[in-house]
Amino acid sequence: MRNMLSTVGRAWDRLEIFIGGLFLTLSVFIIVLQIFLRSVFGFSIIGGDEIAAYAIIWSILFTAALAVKSNQHVRIDVIFTVLPKTAGRILDMLGTLLSLFFALYLTYSGWELVMESHMLGEVSMTMLRMPMWIPQVILPLGGALLSLRLIQRFVSLLTGAADPQSEQAESSAT
């Protein structure tokens, strides 16, 4: 059972990296293509900048959950070196819970926004006229992925599998 969960976890990590990288690569490709077309032929793709911006946003929100897993989000690490180990763990758990509440709110409010945009038939104000629910769907999706990783981190802190002080040492070494 533990082996299967480990395999699923690794597959989940790879999928997040792949999809995040795919959107980032797409945005870079579109931006470079836009520059080339404007420089050489004097025209550009209609909506190219809009699609590139959406792809960057999707890449960031899709991979934000990975930063939770590897403890790469911004925090004040010096606190964890000064506090006793137990107090550091409690503080880290509190921060994780606050982040979880934010991620759950992002998931809920993002879903409400997507549903409203879809119901009202909102489209972008550019020539592309993209239905707004398409780029907005990353908000509840990214929030849900972030929530799952934060729950995973909280359980890890609760069981003692994660150590804020040793993580601080590892992150400052890189």
Residue listed under structure tokens 């759950």:
104
pLDDT bracket for residue 9 (50, 70, 90): confident
The pLDDT of residue 79 is above 80: no
Residue 169's pLDDT is 47
Angle at 171 between CA 174 and CA 27, to 5 degrees: 75
Region of 131 (left: φ > 0; alpha: ψ -120 to 50; beta: rest) is: beta
Amino acid present at 140: P
Q: Which helix (H) or strand (E) holds 165?
A: helix 164-173
Is this structure's pTM higher than 0.85? no
The pLDDT of residue 119 is above 90: yes
| Cβ atoms of 122 and 114 closer than 8 Å | no
Residue 138's pLDDT is 95
Q: Which two tokens stand for residue 38?
A: 């404007």
Handedness of CA 107, 108, 111, 117 (dihedral sign): negative
Q: Which two tokens stand for residue 12?
A: 């989940």
Q: Which residues pair with 131 in a beta bridge?
A: 123
129-133, 141-145, 150-154, 158-162: least confidently modelled range: 158-162
Give the residue, 77 or 99, on which the prediction is more confident.
99
